Chain A
Amino acid sequence: MATTRTRSAGSGTITVLNPQGYPPRITAAPMAPRLDGLDGKTVYLVDPRFDDSGIFLKQLQACFEEHLPRVTTRYVQMRSVYTRDDPETWEEIKANGDAAIIGVGH
């Protein structure tokens, strides 16, 4: 087996197979429209519960309260580990929120 070759067009060249798999077809999902402004809006702060992300988001929440007091922030935790989808939380945000920040990722 070690000496087998597929000769190709040029002398001394060989042809080999591509080792990569097949990527999926991607259909773009549009981003949600951005807000005109944040005054009077409700922004969810979604905690994936990874590497102390909750402590970080509460500091972000404090910053909103100090500098953007007309924005309502709601801190929520994902209902399990970040590797699992959480449709209940997404539905809650759609029903009661205007925007969401998810963090911290890695």
Chain B
Amino acid sequence: MPQARYVFVPQPVMGKSPRELRGYVDGKDPVTGRPVMQEIIEGLTVPVETDLRGITFERLTPRLVEPGTEENLHRLFRENNWTDQLPIILPTEERVAAMLACTSRKPGEVVGHMRPTAFREVWEYTVEKVAVNAVMSGARPEYFPVILALAASEASARGSTTSSAAAMAVVNGPVRHEIGMNSGIGALGPYNHANATIGRAYGLLSQNLQGGSEPGLTYMGSSGNNYSYNSVTFAENEERSPWEALHVQHGFRPSDSAVSVFGGCRSTAFTLGLPEKHWREHVRNMLRGMDAHSAPTLLLDPITARQFIDRGGFDTKEKLIRWVYENALMPADEYWDYQLIQNYIYPRATFGEEPYASRLKAAPDELIHMFTPEEVQVVVVGGETNGYWRIMGAPYRTTVSVDQWR
């Protein structure tokens, strides 16, 4: 928006006193060095010089990159911010064709649309474009339907929130075994080719198909997030889980293959097992320690899953989820004071949106729910070397069929 009138004040605005913020108003724009109020008045009164009415801008993405040596092409991809700064596999036509051979979908079919934030333009991408990024990640062609399903979620793994959020992806169903995914020992670590490269492909396709993920331009995460390297991608350990699989909870059959996508993945809490005397207090402490805005997804080793049944009688995931909802509580005054709650929940509450409006009616010291039951998720993963488990602050977004992309 070359003609839009912007005025900048120092960052942060958050947490500053009225007196300090008046200083911003009376001070200078840190970008231009000119007085803030003068720029505001000029922004409202200085005529717009160029009339862009009716002008359209057509931008093309060539199918091929100019030929070059491997060394120069690797440099080009790095310098264009088309990689995650780790070495990639160059997407030659043969490699992309091999990837495309593992789906029945046509190369030119539109898979979806994506953008880094709600205010940016939406970019479009095809099956072939997803294949290019899949090749770059080092993924094998047989993984391609899972990667296409991730692309079809239209949920970016490279969101541009200043909070440095990552994505998380959980694969369910027969495809886990068909492509050799890991749901056991080290499932969330760098020990399995499919887990590692599918998650990497999700990140690469997000940044390249949405129009970039460049710090200061299309990525504003202040500190960044190591989870972004492979978007915490793993398979659920359905065989050792005492409960219904995640994709079945979201409307699929056990025989279906699907991938579930989570966003806002930042905060993590962990502990070992559920000691008999104070397990309830321990879990409550973990929940209270989570970011109150990012709903919890429990990642339970099968040992811990069975212990939840032994301790609390939670013979279904739904019963455990209900207990988590009922025990994730916080005094109302503390809850509403969180900046993220002020930014994203309070405005909705003040305009009557439930259940937030009811929470707003609570007395300051009254305990209120931090989350809704629908927001809480449970996934079983791990190899039973011990009963360690964790909570990821990672709100569920959607579950996409893998079978549709075979």
Contact = CB atoms under 8 A, between A and B. Distances in A.
A-side interface mostly: loop
B52 A63 contact: no
Interface in A53-98: 53, 55-56, 58-60, 62-63, 67-68, 77-83
B65 A18 contact: yes
B209 A20 contact: yes
A99 B52 contact: no
Nearest to A106: B162
Contact of B22 (A16, A31, A63): A63
Contacts of B59: 23, 25-26
A17 B140 CA distance: 17
A16 B343 contact: no
B48 A33 contact: yes
Contacts of A60: 25, 40
A34 B93 contact: no
B56 A26 contact: yes
Interface residues of B, number: 86
Contacts of B122: 24
Contacts, number: 205
Nearest to A85: B118
A84 B211 CA distance: 22
Contacts of B220: 106
Given A13-B68, A18-B62, A31-B3, A26 B132 contact: no
Contact of B93 (A15, A43, A79, A103): A15
24 contacts: A15-B67, A16-B91, A16-B92, A19-B91, A21-B210, A22-B61, A22-B123, A23-B59, A23-B123, A23-B211, A43-B44, A49-B347, A50-B343, A52-B13, A52-B14, A52-B15, A55-B21, A56-B13, A63-B22, A68-B41, A78-B347, A80-B353, A83-B118, A101-B40
Given A22-B61, A23-B61, A67-B37, 15 more contacts: A6-B94, A13-B67, A15-B67, A17-B96, A17-B128, A18-B63, A21-B124, A21-B211, A23-B123, A28-B56, A30-B51, A34-B46, A36-B45, A52-B342, A106-B162
Interface of B: 3-4, 7, 9, 12-16, 18, 21-22, 24-26, 37, 40-41, 44-48, 51-59, 61-65, 67-70, 73, 77, 82, 89-96, 98, 114, 118-119, 121-126, 128-129, 132-133, 136, 140-141, 162, 204, 208-211, 220, 339, 342-344, 346-348, 350-351, 353
